[in-house]
Structure 1
Amino acid sequence: MPQIFPRSADMWLRLALLILFGGLVGLLIVVMVLDRSDYISRKGWVVRQPVPFSHEHHAGALKIDCRYCHDSVETSAVAGLPPTETCMSCHSQIWTGAEMLAPVRQSLAEDKPLRWNRVAELPDYVYFQHDVHVNAGVGCETCHGQVDTMPLMYRGEAFTMSWCLDCHQDPAPRLRPREAITAMGWSTELDRREVGQQLVKAHHIDTRHLTHCYTCHR
């Protein structure tokens, strides 16, 4: 019987399968790396706003407490965004003619709120409450980074499920006294874990169910 395929056919088939397998593995690696990259999580990416608000200036240089603008962070699921009146409580007297503040003055004159763009945004299927975390001793910078060093606001953390679980599995070292919640760069000479464990007891935090699916997905 005559030979249908040349002797080299087996070699080419093996080479083609090897290339195909290598390509699939390479594609999988690329997808995994991309999924964990800042490009997907938006960590470190500046979000454009209607007004170039500087946390570095307001929270850093002027030492304005986070709660002055985010006034519902201790009592509500959402931290709250400042209404125009909050901005104008200062800027009706200082920097009154600044060009960059024109949208704020227009907002007040037209009685239309500024449309701030969310920086720290979670998917709709994630249940999150600011007041629960803040009152448990989770500082603002734990999730948002040291905003007092940000000329323009960007996402300080990736907000991935694994990042949240790291804290829920071992919250003690990440907790701080309530009076230090808004303090940027807070530190203590005491052992952080010991301080956190005391706060877990003081705030009656039930750590047994923090990693239950229902805690974050309802």
Structure 2
Amino acid sequence: MPQVFPRSADGIARFVLWAVLGAFISAVVLGTAVLRSGFLTGVGQAIAQPVPFSHKHHVGQLGLDCRYCHDGVETSSSAGLPATEVCMTCHSQLYTNAEMLAPVRASLASGKPLHWQRVNSVPDFVYFNHSIHIAKGVACETCHGNVDDMPLTARSEPLSMEWCLGCHRNPTPNLRPPQDVFLLHWKPPSDIAEIRRRLISVLDIHPETMTDCYVCHR
């Protein structure tokens, strides 16, 4: 019986199969890398704002407390964005004619609020409450990073479902005494492991139910 395929056909077929498998694996790895990259998550990318507000100046250099501008962080699901009047508390006296603050003065004169662009946000179908995280000992810098080092504010963490679930499954490494949640560059004491173990009980934290769907999707 005559040979239908040349002797090299078997080698070619194996090469093609391995090439297809390699291409598939590469596509999966590349796709995963892209999905987790700052290009899609926005991590490290500053967003244009109506005023180039600098947390590095206001928080890092002047020492303003987070709650001065984000007054809902302890009591509301939203931390809140500063009203024009909050900005003008200082800027009616300081840098009153600065060009970069023209939108703030115009907002005050017209009564129309500044439209700040949210840097850290989750999709509309995700329920997130700032106040409960603060009350349970999760610090601002855990999610928002060291804002006192940011000339322009950028997202520090991906805030993805995977990232949030990692903390919900094991919140202990991210806990600190509630009175310390607003401290930046916080240094944990030597007995932090014991403190966190007690906080789980004292603050009534239940990791076994924190990954239930209804916790974040209501």
Residue 125 of structure 2 corresponds to residue 128 of structure 1: no
1:207 maps to what in 2?
Answer: 207
For residues 6 and 177 of structure 2, what CA distance do their matches in structure 1 show?
78
Q: CA deviation at 1:170?
A: 2.1
Q: Secondary structure at the match of 1:158?
A: coil
The corresponding residue for 1:46 is 46
Aligned to 2:37: 37
In the TM superposition, what whole-angstrom CA distance separates every residue of 1:84-105 from its partner, at most 9, and x where no partner exists? 1110111011000111111111
**Equivalent residues in 2 for 1:149-164 (5 A)?**
149-164=149-164
Structure 2: give runs of 5+ residues left out of the alignment.
none
Greater mean alpha carbon deviation, residues 7-16 or residues 160-169: 7-16
- The 1:12–1:189 alpha-carbon spacing in structure 2 relative to 1, beyond 3 Å, is closer
The C-alpha deviation readout for 1:105-154, integer Å capped at 9, x for no partner, is 11111111111111111122221100000111111111100111111101
Aligned to 1:194: 194
2:63 match: 63
How far 1:16 moved relative to its partner? 3.0
Kept after mapping to 2: 8 A contact 1:173/1:192 = no
Say if 1:47 and 1:154, in contact at 8 Å, map to a contact too: yes
- 2: distance between equivalents of 1:41 and 1:53? 22
Q: Structure 1, unaligned stretches of length 5 or more?
A: none
Q: Greater shift after overlay, 96-105 or 187-196?
A: 187-196
Query: Please, what is the CA RMSD of the aligned residues?
Result: 1.8
Q: Distance in 2 between matches of 1:107 and 1:68?
A: 19
Letter in 1 for 2:215: T
Q: Could you tell me how far apart the structure 1 residues matched to 2:17 and 2:201 are?
A: 59
Please state how far the C-alpha of 1:188 moved relative to its aligned partner.
Answer: 3.1
Asked if 2 retains the 8 angstrom alpha-carbon contact of 1:45 and 1:155, the reply is: yes
Counterpart residue identity of residue 189, structure 1: P
Aligned partner of residue 25 in structure 2, secondary structure: helix
Matches for 1:155-174 after TM superposition, within 5 Å: 155-174=155-174
Partners of 1:177 and 1:6 lie apart in 2 by 74
TM-score under structure 1 length normalisation: 0.92
Q: Is the 8 A contact 1:104 1:114 kept in 2?
A: yes
Distance 1:205 1:22 in 2: 45
In 1, the alpha carbon distance for the partners of 2:3 and 2:173 equals: 72
Q: Note if contact 1:72-1:79 (Cα within 8 Å) is conserved in structure 2.
A: yes
In the alignment, the residues of structure 1 paired with residue 88 and residue 189 of structure 2 have an alpha-carbon distance, to the nearest angstrom, of 40
- Opposite residue 81 of structure 1, the aligned amino acid is L
Mapped partners of 2:196, 2:76: distance in 1: 23
Distance 2:142 2:15 in 1: 51
Please state how far the C-alpha of 1:3 moved relative to its aligned partner.
5.8
Q: Secondary structure at the match of 2:208?
A: helix
